[in-house]
Structure 1
């Protein structure tokens, strides 16, 4: 009986010693990773991207749960002309389970930037729309979405997105919307649909009474219809 007690005590002592050593090692390891992560952030603030990249690679090697480190690592790759590698880093994060909404938004933001850098505007837009579904009032996502719609000359969608941004800003001024109505009118003008174009140009003026391009365009529509007197009279309103 005494022998069993002695064996039990020896095993218990060994287990306890192992646990204490492991906990001490783990504590040092975690402390080292945290310290390295802070150093990497400082390097980023100092625009020392190469040093930051090296440290962040070590951080993610030692702490695979550090999503922010992966995001920053991918961002450095993109900003140094490697958006395809950045995309792979960020796409891998989407495969993880139990992501918080904040993590999902942060990942989608970087994915949108990656796709935009690769000129894959459709996929970038899809990522941004998913982001706005998680955060309907996220101004950055809406502004990036607007930029894509402007780049691809989708003025109707750009108008709606710009209107959403004004709602987020709680802005009473709608002057920013004038340009999109003007662009829509210009598309109709090029198709020689002069009357419809004029209506949109006038809507632009309704948003911004001093928006000169709309006045000039209305005069041009009259001129193309050989209604020169109407053209001159409208230009006089400038």
Structure 2
């Protein structure tokens, strides 16, 4: 309760003086309102928040201007996580008939925030909908509705309100709406509606030409349909859109080039990418191809050169595996231990990190579970255990 008191004191000092003067002016010097106010404050000091809330709420009947006190008090309770108390205060304000129009709208907004914090999305939605025709509250109401529809996975409604916010001159939501389209495409694909899924993905690229997720999905759908050339075109676009997601397409893209009889073209393309990205997964893919086509010696030479400048766990494990396969004996005991350690590290390592908040996960999420931002979680570069000199 001490923390709340310190937060409230600045409000209390100004509001107490103001309420007392207002009441004195209205009643010829009466200090009833002031006495009630300090009675409520005394309850707070003595850690009796329920009685304080009752007294301060009752003061709204004395003077409509004291509504600001209740709004501030409710906000403080919400910040402390005492959402039930915040709901009680803001709900009591809305029930009053003497509030000004602006005060009521302010109370509706705050009660909507309370319900949002409590996870009561249906109630919050109804309150924010009520504010959509109020110019001073429209933008914040729309942003809250977008959040609610995302949580409820109502992607069409989320797109609608994002577009409405943009038309108002608000911040661009094209990156977010592109992902909402991708969500709708995945749902349509699950239902077996391939044409509908492709329509949503093309809409995603129209909204955000840099949406790598849309091309990842287009490539995946094309592979399922056996259209490997279309898959190659979509998957190669991923590296141009966002190189950070290229590790996600290495395996399916390589398989597509092989399926259309163009393995040499695949290796050439992979070498071009590696000139820009010496990450472990690109190196490992090249090493695998060399092992199959050129043999162990060529692969060992490639890995030795690569690891001297760009040491990676994946490259190290591949090199150890080749050397272990060459023979047996006591001299290989250290290599076996090194292989076990590197494998354990790779199996336990988180593969993805959010560029916005640093959240680390083992599987790809398009919306960060921590900061709720879209397109910020990407494959980690920390498989590289050294830095080039």
Scaled by the length of structure 1, what TM-score is found?
A: 0.72
**Structure 2 matches for 1:146-161, cutoff 5 A?**
146-161=146-161
Unaligned runs of 5+ in 1: 1-19, 41-49
**Distance in 2 between the 1:230 and 1:157 partners?**
31
User: 1:208 matched to which residue of 2?
Assistant: 208
1:120-135 alignment to 2 at 5 Å? Answer: 120-135=120-135
Moved more, 186-195 or 112-121: 186-195
Q: CA-to-partner distance for each residue in 1:146-186, whole Å, 9 max, x for gaps?
A: 11111111100000010111012266884443222222112
Q: Using the alignment, how far apart are the partners of 1:82 and 1:211 within structure 2? A: 40
- TM-aligned CA distance change 1:73 to 1:151, over 3 Å: same
Counterparts of residues 88-127 of structure 1 (less than 5 Å):
88-127=88-127
Verify the 8 A CA contact 2:162 2:173 in the aligned structure 1.
Answer: no
1:191 aligns to 2:191 (yes or no):
yes
Q: Offset of 1:137 from its aligned partner?
A: 6.3
**Deviation of residue 114 (structure 1)?**
1.2
Give the Cα separation in 2 of the matches to 1:151 and 1:81: 20
Counterpart CA distance in 2 for 1:119 and 1:173 is: 24
Cα 1:77–1:170 shift into 2, 3 Å: closer
SS, match of residue 99 in structure 2:
coil
Aligned to 2:163: 163
Instruction: Find the aligned partners of 1:172 and 1:191 in 2 and give their Cα distance.
Output: 31
* Superposition pairs of residues 164-183 of structure 1, within 5 angstroms: 164-169=164-169, 174-183=174-183
Aligned residues: 205
Change (3 A) 1:161 1:23: closer
Give, in angstroms, the shift of residue 234 of structure 1. Answer: 2.2
Q: Which runs of 5+ in 2 are unaligned?
A: 1-23, 42-46, 239-389
Question: What is the TM-score with the length of structure 2 in the denominator?
Answer: 0.46
SS of match in other structure, 1:25:
coil
Task: Identify which range, 167-176 or 61-70, moves more after superposition.
Answer: 167-176
- 1:108 offset after TM fit, Å? 0.9
Contact map agreement 1:146 1:161 (CA 8 A) in 2: yes
Q: Please tell me whether residue 226 in structure 1 is matched to residue 230 in structure 2.
A: no
Secondary structure of 1:226's match? Answer: coil
Paired position in structure 1 for 2:293: none
Pick aligned residue for 2:29 from 9, 25, 30: 25
Does the 8 Å contact 1:137/1:168 carry over to 2?
Answer: no
Q: Which has the higher contact order (CA 8 A, sep 6+)?
A: 1
Deviation digits for residues 105-155 of structure 1, max 9, x if unmatched? 111111111111221100100000001133386211111111111111110
Counterparts of 1:122 and 1:158 in 2: how far apart (Å)?
A: 15
Contact 2:60–2:67 (CA under 8 A) maintained in structure 1:
no
SS at match of 1:237: helix
CA gap 1:169/1:55 in 2 versus in 1, 3 angstroms: farther
- 1:92, 1:132 → 2: CA distance? 22
Tell me: CA distance 1:142–1:102, structure 2 relative to 1, closer, same or farther (3 Å): same
Are the counterparts in 2 of residues 57 and 73 from structure 1 also a CA contact under 8 Å?
no
Structure number having the greater helix percentage: 1
Change beyond 3 A, Cα 1:84–1:60: closer
Deviation at 1:103, TM superposition (A): 1.1
TM-aligned CA distance change 1:78 to 1:23, over 3 Å: closer
Q: Matches of 1:59 and 1:226 in 2, distance apart?
A: 69
1: CA distance between counterparts of 2:172 and 2:153? 26
Secondary structure in 1 matching 2:95: coil
